[in-house]
């Protein structure tokens, strides 16, 4: 998706992937409201990559990309996306093509999951857990810094390493990057 958030993620991925010996054959972006991805997919398909990586801020484009990819008879060995690929809208648009997609996931604390379900009446997903933890760790940093000054909160936040929330115990350990266990999962 052609926005700052996705471009930053893409650039970080590409840098790390190349450092690990991978080769990026093509990068294609689309505008948020686009409905047709066939031009980008045809160009990507011409390189015959082993892996197609998709990044979007909403589930709808995942479904369209997967459906149109199948229509173009482009079936890469592996497809990697975010956990939005398991949103029911993706399955509704793409059908069984949305199965077997890999996505990174974090385990949700069972006690937190149970209390979420009791309060809201449905199972929480990764977005609910990350949203909760994001707000809660920020508030923890404000409390520990004893101020809402953005720079002081940021500095405090980057050194939290014992935060316990919906995703278990995690923190930043001074690195500025969240230190939490991720696992690659396959969409059912």
Give the closest residue to 28 by CA, choosing from 59, 60, 69.
69
What gap in Å lies between CA 156 and CA 140, rounded to an integer?
A: 9
- 180 vs 54: which has the higher pLDDT: 54
For residue range 134-188, what is the model confidence (pLDDT) as tens digits?
Answer: 999 999 999 999 999 999 999 999 999 999 999 999 999 888 788 887 888 898 8
Q: What angle do CA 52, 86, 37 make, to 5 degrees?
A: 40
- The rounded percent of the chain whose pLDDT value lies above 90 is 67
Q: Which residues contact 76 (CB under 8 A, 6 or more apart)?
A: 49, 50, 51, 52
Query: Nearest to residue 54, comparing CAs of 113, 107, 98?
Result: 98
The pTM of the full predicted model, rounded to 2 decimals, is 0.77
């Amino acid at each position: 998706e052609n926005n700052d958030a996705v471009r930053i993620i893409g650039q970080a991925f590409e840098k790390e992937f190349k450092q690990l010996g991978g080769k990026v054959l093509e990068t294609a972006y689309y505008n948020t409201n686009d409905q047709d991805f066939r031009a980008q997919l045809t160009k990507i398909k011409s390189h015959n990559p082993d892996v197609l990586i998709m990044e979007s801020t909403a589930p709808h484009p995942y479904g369209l990309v997967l459906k149109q990819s199948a229509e173009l008879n482009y079936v890469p060995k592996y497809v990697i996306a975010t956990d939005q690929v398991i949103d029911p809208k993706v399955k509704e648009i793409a059908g069984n093509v949305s199965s077997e997609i890999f996505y990174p996931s974090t385990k949700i604390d069972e006690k937190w999951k149970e209390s979420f379900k009791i309060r809201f009446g449905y199972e929480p997903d990764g977005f609910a857990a990350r949203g909760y933890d994001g707000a809660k760790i920020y508030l923890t940093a404000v409390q520990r810094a004893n101020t809402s000054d953005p720079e002081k909160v940021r500095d405090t936040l980057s050194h939290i390493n014992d935060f316990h929330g919906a995703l278990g115990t995690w923190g930043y350990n001074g690195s500025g990057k969240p230190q939490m266990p991720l696992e690659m999962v396959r969409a059912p």
